Amino acid sequence: MSEASVSGNKALYDKRLADYLDTVDCKPIDHVLAAPHIGIVPVTLYGKEYGLTVQSLMEDFNSGIEAYLRYHEEFQPDLACPPSSLPSKPAMEVMDTNLFHWPGKHIADPMALIQYLDTVYMQREEYQEYIDDPTGFMMSKVLPRQHAALKGLGMVNLSEPIYYGAFFNMIPFALPPVKAALEAMSTTGGIMLGVAEAMGNYEKAYEEAGWPSMIDIGASIPFDLFNDTLRGLTEINYDMLDCPDLLLEAVDKATRIETRNLRAQMQQMHARTVYFFLHNGTDYFMSREQFETFYWPGLKAMCEVVAECGGIAKVFTEDKYDAKLDILATLPKGHTIVHLVNSDLKKAKEAFAGKVCFSGGVDSTLLAFGSPDQVVKQVTEVLDTCAEGGGYILDTMTSLDMVKPENLHAMFDTARAYQPK
């Protein structure tokens, strides 16, 4: 790359970053940012040319850099998006995980996405055990249940390694099941170090080409720790009704742990944008009262840590939050993007205008199965509703996986031609 190209891309990067930060701060700029979360679009568009499938990408994330960079060069989004939502196939295999089904093992189609299995890994009577010793419980009970290769961790107890007793606490580490678990953990750590380096390679390639990243790290909301990975969707419903005090105490403990860990991670990595996928605070799942009681305190605490560290929290709602828009509008201004799915955009504009940046609005299904004229019509309607005064990023409601390229061009071209008021 020539020196002039490097200089030009640096200027482009700086302009895009400044526009991003101003938009998040609800300041009007000279155009509307268009930056969808693309998922596996580069694989579905260019996979045959690069010999790339979802399965092969999960086996070697570096194999997708050219295809993902090509997507950005062809469609010119305002922010870059790496393949951040896919887990590592080698890591899942070494851990013999029960969390997912994935292509290459459970699913024959190499272009299929992973399937998350909603399973109970913690019984209701174990809430108090989690509350008393979260780390010990996660290590000795949850990890062995979620990953078959870590079954030996159930034999380890480090809750009281003091004085001479500390030496006896080392006995389990001589046993074959524990040794096997530690070996699996070490191997997985090496694999994930390679994944982290690959994500760094994407970020470097994007930055050199003039794009700041729209996602640096992902984090979970404390309530979702129990909903997603411990109690499951069905049981957590009963818990909110049958043992609310235990659930609240456990979520409070998780909030303290997760905020501490997030603060340390952001400071270590100098991360800018943190993604939070809100799995179960939606209007269909929680009443406003339940949301304020069980979900909101942890969400608010995590977003405040991001703001404290100078970052941006991308709060991806995943479904309708119309009954809670005014609550979300109190998240830190200049440090939050609320991504909307299936919400009333007029109500959202009224709630967020001048307070919190928001994104979403474009039907992902339309990009996959509609026509360019239909896309232009919808994008224009969305922009007419949301763009005035700034503080809005054009995005699809859900992550993009399959699209017609002509429809994607229509979306970006419409956004670029639009003149915000």
**Whether the Cβ atoms of residue 325 and residue 348 lie closer than 8 Å to each other:** yes
pLDDT band at 2 (very low <50, low <70, confident <90, very high): low
Is it the case that residue 303 has pLDDT exceeding 60? yes
* Residue 5 clears pLDDT 80, i.e. is over it: no
CATH number reported for the structural domain that contains residue 77 in this entry: 3.20.20.210
Helix axes 345-352, 372-386, angle to 10 degrees: 30
Domain that holds residue 404: 3-90+193-417
Residue 121 lies in a domain: no
- pLDDT at residue number 216: 92
- Tokens 């956004």 — which residue? 415
* Average pLDDT of the residues of the chain: 94
199 phi/psi in degrees, rounded to 5: -60, -35
Q: Is residue 56 part of a domain?
A: yes
In a domain, 155, yes or no: no
Instruction: Dump pLDDT digits (tens) for 245-256.
Output: 999 999 999 999
Mind listing the pLDDT tens digit for each residue in 57-116?
999 999 999 999 999 999 999 999 988 789 999 999 999 999 999 999 999 999 999 999
SS3 assignment, position 213: strand
Q: How far apart are CA 386 and CA 309, in angstroms?
A: 28
State what percent of residues in the chain have pLDDT above 70: 98
- What does the pLDDT read at residue 271? 87
Whether 242 shows a pLDDT value over 70: the answer reads: yes
| Residue 172 predicted with pLDDT over 80 | yes
The pLDDT score that the predictor gives to residue 164 is 76
Residue 74 lies in a domain: yes
Establish if 170 belongs to a structural domain: no
Q: What pLDDT score was predicted for residue 6?
A: 58
| pLDDT tens for each residue of 356-372 | 999 999 999 999 999 99
In a domain, 295, yes or no: yes
What is the maximal distance between C-alpha atoms in the chain? 76
pLDDT at 1: 53
User: Which pLDDT tens digit goes with each residue over 308-338?
Assistant: 999 999 999 989 999 999 999 999 999 999 9
Domain count along the chain = 1
> Is residue 130 assigned to a domain?
no
pLDDT by residue (tens digit) across 115-129?
999 999 999 999 999
Q: pLDDT for 14-46, tens place per residue?
A: 999 999 999 999 999 999 999 999 999 999 999
- Residue pair 203/213 in contact (Cβ under 8 Å)? The answer is yes
What are the residues whose beta carbons fall under 8 Å from the beta carbon of 153, sequence distance 6 or more? 139, 140, 143, 144, 178, 181
Percent pLDDT > 90 in the chain is 90
In-domain check, residue 312: yes
Q: How far apart are CA 367 and CA 143, in angstroms?
A: 40
CA distance 299 to 351: 18
Mean pLDDT for 267-290 is: 92
Query: Under the phi-then-psi rule, with left for phi > 0, alpha for psi from -120 to 50, and beta for the rest, what region is 149?
Result: alpha
Q: Are 414 and 375 in contact (CB under 8 A)?
A: yes
The residue among 76, 87, 91 whose CA lies nearest residue 38 is: 76
Rounded-to-integer distance, Cα 254 and Cα 231, Å: 14
